[in-house]
Structure 1
Amino acid sequence: MHSIFKPLTDHIVFTGDLKTDIRLFLEANQCSDTAIHCIEVGAESRIIALMYNSDPTAAETAGWLHDISAVFPSNERIDVARQLQIDVLPEEEVFPMIIHQKISRVMARDIFNINNQEILDAVGCHTTLRSNSTLLDQVLFVADKISWDQQGKPPYINELNRNLQKSITHGAFAYINFLWERKETLKVIHPWLKEAYEELKDKVRLVS
């Protein structure tokens, strides 16, 4: 485990139950709201995985883990990423919040001993998605957008749910398209999001 994680874990007695330990970890590091969000996203991921024949246990696990990097404030995340030898894109420099997906991926592996590559990859792209996304990537991406961590009802939720009835890819694209139509208002356009938009746009068009 990287030394940067030691102060976050030394005061915790882990139980060996992943769901319990993720909650303990987040609550012990003053991220109780994130703990609730992660558990909710895990539950939503399981539901969506069952709808689309994805592995429900892997999906739930990815949901529990996706935001564990919330323990690092946004203004520290670029420095944290560099210490962890994570590749930092220019867009992430401008908007550090967005690199939390990559940090969560490393934390899932190093703190919680997750070695399932598909789970790690889904955690690592849950905010932006990516090109050549897997079924699990899309399940977690959509679940996170349904169980969002803001107040009120997501402005895109009706369109997302309507498209989710067609396919998981339609559901994922509905959210990306929502952002794309408002891209002038975004702080950055992450290149992974742009690549996912271009790819899924064509896939959705072919299936529709």
Structure 2
Amino acid sequence: MHSIFKDVTQNIQFTGDLKHDIYLFLSANNCSKTAEHCMDVGTEARRIALLFDANPEAAEISGWLHDISAVFPNNQRIVVSRELQIEVLPEEEFFPMIIHQKLSKAMAKDIFKITDTEILDAVGCHTTLRARSTQLDQVLFVADKVAWDQPGEPPYIQKLHRSLKISLAHGAFSYIQFLWERKDTLKVVHPWLKEAYEEMKHIENSNHSQKRFE
């Protein structure tokens, strides 16, 4: 394990029960709210995976892991990422919160010994998605938006649920489009989000075409 993780792991007795250990890890580092959110996203990811014949175990695990980097506050994330030799994009340096997806991926591999590339990659793009996203990427991306960690109902949730009735990709794109329509109000537009939007925007066009012929 990398030495930079010593302070966040030194007082924890890991048991080998992944769900328990993730919850314990976050709670022990004063991230109890995030621990609950990760458990909720794991549950939601499993539910969505079952709807679309994705791997429910992998989906649930990716949900548990996706925000484990919360143990590092925003003002430490760029330094920690560079120490781990994670590529830091200009947008991430300007708005360090958004690099937490890459940092969670690295921590899942190093601290929790995850070797499944699909799980790691889904964790690594759960906030922005990415071009050529996998089914598991989209499952986790959508689950995180459904099981959001803020008060009240998400403003995008009704459209997302309607879109999910068409396909998983429609569900994922509905949230990307929600952000894209408000991109001038975002702190940054992450290049991965832009690439995902450019790749998937045909989904909305095809949906409109379908409605015209119904």
Task: Answer yes or no: same fold by TM over 0.5.
Answer: yes
Partner of 1:109: 109
Partner of 1:81: 81
Partner of 2:157: 157
Cα drift, residue 10 of structure 1: 1.1
Cα drift, residue 66 of structure 1: 0.1
Q: Percent identity?
A: 68
Larger radius of gyration: 2
Cα drift, residue 202 of structure 1: 1.6
The alignment of Structure 1 onto Structure 2 pairs a total of residues equal to 208
What code does the residue aligned with 2:74 have? S
- Deviation digits for residues 48-75 of structure 1, max 9, x if unmatched? 0000010000000000000000000011
Partner of 1:205: 205
TM-score for the superposition, normalised by structure 2? 0.96
Q: Name stretches of at least 5 consecutive residues in structure 1 with no aligned partner.
A: none
Is the 1:169–1:204 contact (alpha carbons within 8 Å) kept by the matching residues of 2?
A: no
Is the 2:19–2:64 contact (alpha carbons within 8 Å) kept by the matching residues of 1?
A: yes
Partner of 1:53: 53
1:185 partnered with 2:178: no
Partner of 1:171: 171
Partner of 1:39: 39
CA–CA distance in structure 2, aligned partners of residues 51 and 138 of structure 1: 13
Partner of 2:72: 72
CA–CA distance in structure 2, aligned partners of residues 168 and 126 of structure 1: 14
What code does the residue aligned with 1:175 have? Y
Q: Name stretches of at least 5 consecutive residues in structure 2 with no aligned partner.
A: none
TM-score for the superposition, normalised by structure 1? 0.98
- Deviation digits for residues 133-185 of structure 1, max 9, x if unmatched? 00000000000000011111101000100101100000000000000001110
Cα drift, residue 204 of structure 1: 4.3
Cα drift, residue 6 of structure 1: 1.0
